Structure 1
Amino acid sequence: MSLYRSVRAVTGASGTGAIDWDAVAEAAKASTDPGALELSEAERSGYAADVREARDAVGAVGGVEFDVPRTVEVQNRHHWIDANVETFSRVMAPLEDHTEVALPGVSRVLNTGTMSFMLAFLGRNVLGQYDPLLLAEGDADHALYFVHPNIRKVAETLDVEYDRFRRWIAFHEVTHAAEFGAAPWLSDHLEERMEEGIEALAGGSLDREAFRELDAAMTVVEGYAELLMDHAFDDEYADLRAKLDARRRGRGPIAQFVRRALGLGMKRRQYERGKAFFERVADLRGVEAANAVWTSPDNLPTDAELDNPDAWVRRVDP
């Protein structure tokens, strides 16, 4: 790990784009310990079994047919950074193409530094990720990542059983695979909302409706995952959630600021709001009734319905 090499990569940002993504990758990895990735045979088998058993349990509880992505990777932190540099560069390309600044060289260095700092922070903290590969060209398959050094480190920090914690992470990420498997249209829907919002930003305006719909869709994604986790995970996990929340609250002011800047507080709100919505739906009509959200984009709850699940139930299942 070398902060000097990271700074040098940022200040040397070049090219014609608003962000030098090669420099982002170099700087983020230079400031991040990759972590160990020597897996025992038991650990390799454990990851595979966790994903396989999560797929079966989630499918049975939710009543949905899906399969996990062909790409399932156990990564170190540098692997995760590389994968997400590609994702971020793809998602941000439309905004970069429409951005004009007075001092492009200075702006490129600032943008590159911001992105490298963000990816380095996330790379040190992300445990697992279901990546739907939004805005990818062609018929790209989705991907499932586990950042092994972070899972190991957090399990030790929280003083929880490593195998159980790893399994919990696998179940959570596989629930996202179930959502996208149940709704083949979901990726296109999210991409369209993203593109509308980005095009408006590039034109100097804010498409509040597009971002509101995107936030509502992501709230559904996170909330439905929480619902399936509650019913599919083969153990109690309230203690795991409580310890993770306590760990986040116990971080220093700089880490708390970074989390807010990255919108991680908003993601937590999506979890809580979405979970409350689906818990009420399940109470009214059962867990499988919640699958109606994946029938078509028209069945997604509106922003107002997320706070009034009864109204959504009356609309989609009168």
Structure 2
Amino acid sequence: MNLYRSVRAVTGASGNGPIDWAAVAEAAKSATEPGSIELSAEQKTGYATDVRDARTRVREVSGVSFDVPDTIEIQNRHHWIDANITTFKRVMEPVEEHGPSVLPGVSRVVNTGTMSFMLALLGNNVLGQYDPLLLADGEGDDHALYFVHPNIERIAGKLDVDFDRFRRWIAFHEVTHAAEFGAAPWLSGHLESRMESGIEALAHGEVDREAFRELDAVMTSVEGYAELLMDEAFDDEYEDLRRKIEARRKGMNPLSKLVRRMLGLGMKRRQYERGKEFFEYVVDAESVETATKVWDGPENLPSDDELDHPERWLARIE
């Protein structure tokens, strides 16, 4: 880790756009220890086995046929930062096209520093990621699955839990997301259209509240259904893992909590909880098969109101 080099990269940000992405990459990685991915043969086999078992179990409980990416990437923190800079750059392109006028009074250095800080912080905390490669150009793989091994190892140690069990839990969670996008081939395009609408409005200095409201509702469904499948598919009790992670989050200092809110991580937690409550109601009232109908088409997605009143969603789709 070289904080001087990180600061120098940010202050030296250049180019025509509001963000210097090369400087973002250098600054974020200079502020982050990459961590080791020297895995034993047993650890490599463990990741592969966890993903394979998760795919089998999730298929069984959901009734959905889906594939996981051909290549499962075991990443260090720098690998994850590089992969997600590509994603952030795609998402921000409409804003960048309109140049500094979109963010009057905000300099390229500030934008570059903010993005670097976000990626460095996330890179130090992300455990696993199913990436549907939204807004990609269609070349190469159409989805990806990452495990940030140094973070999984570090957090398992801090929580004082068995590494193999913790790794397996992360694998099952990420594979549930692969199941969702496999069940709904239209989901990527739907998310992209909502993202593009919201970002395009921001690029013109406006806020498309409806687009962001719909995007939040979709992501709440995604996170909630993943929790449902985890409850049904995981082959071990894991309430202790969830409880320890929650306790760690609540024990953060005020600055860390503020940063989490700034990055939208509090919203993500709310999506988990709200979506889980919605799908628990649906399964208790009907079945997992009924819950899976949410992926039959975009018209079956619950609205913001229906997420709080799942009985209205059931009445509409039955």
Please report the TM-score for the alignment, with normalisation by the length of structure 2. 0.97
**Cα distance in 1, alignment partners of residues 213 and 104 from structure 2:** 31
Residue 60 of structure 2 aligns with an amino acid whose one-letter code is A
Aligned partners of 1:63 and 1:288 also within 8 Å:
yes
Contact 2:95–2:102, Cα closer than 8 Å, also in 1: no
Residue matched to 2:132: 132
Helix, strand or coil: the match of 2:247?
helix
Shift of 1:99: 3.6
CA spacing shift, 1:283–1:103, aligned 2, 3 Å: closer
Q: Deviations over 1:17-55 (max 9, x none)?
A: 111111101000000011111100000000000000000
Which deviates the most, 63-72 or 73-82? 63-72
1:119 is matched with 119
User: 1:71, 1:142 within 8 Å by CA — same for their partners in 2?
Assistant: no
> Residue in 1 aligned with 2:82?
82
The aligned residue for residue 190 of structure 1 is 191
Distance change >3 Å, CA 227–CA 106, structure 1 → 2: closer
SS for the counterpart of 1:15 is: coil
5+ residue gaps, structure 1, are none
Deviations 1:83-129 (A, max 9, x none): 00111001111111124339999611110000000000000000001
Q: Aligned pair 1:260/2:264, yes or no?
A: no
Letter in 2 for 1:284: A
CA pair 103-197 structure 1, distance change in 2 beyond 3 A = closer
1:214 aligns with: 215
- Write out aligned runs for 1:1-318 (5 A): 1-101=1-101, 107-139=107-139, 140-317=141-318
Q: Which amino acid aligns with 2:296?
A: T
Contact 1:101 1:107 in 2 (8 A): no
Whole-Å separation in 2 of the counterparts to 1:114 and 1:100:
15
Contact 1:222–1:275, Cα closer than 8 Å, also in 2 = yes
Q: Secondary structure at the match of 2:101?
A: coil
Tell me how far apart the structure 1 counterparts of residues 268 and 15 of structure 2 sit (CA, whole Å): 33
Inter-partner Cα distance in structure 2 for 1:250 and 1:40: 33
> SS of the counterpart of 1:101?
helix
Judge conservation of contact 1:70–1:141 (CA < 8 Å) in 2: no
Partner Cα separation in structure 1 for residue 102 and residue 263 of structure 2:
26
1:190 deviation in Å?
0.4
Deviates more, 1:279-288 or 1:41-50: 279-288
CA distance in 2: counterparts of 1:226 and 1:249, whole angstroms: 20
In the aligned structure 1, how far is the partner of 2:282 from the partner of 2:7? 50
| SS, match of residue 145 in structure 1 | strand
Structure 2 CA distance for aligned equivalents of residues 314 and 155 of structure 1: 43
Cα shift readout 1:150-186 (whole Å, capped 9, x = no counterpart): 0000000000000000000000000000000110000
Q: Runs of 5+ in structure 2 lacking a partner?
A: none
Aligned length: 317
4+ runs deviating over 2 angstroms:
98-106
Q: What is the root-mean-square deviation of aligned Cα atoms in Å? A: 1.4
Aligned mates of 1:108, 1:244 — CA distance in 2: 36
SS at match of 1:146: strand
SS of equivalent to 1:100: helix
Is 203-212 or 3-12 further displaced after alignment? 203-212
C-alpha distance in structure 2 between counterparts of 1:75 and 1:168, whole Å = 17
Contact preservation (8 Å) 2:3, 2:30: yes
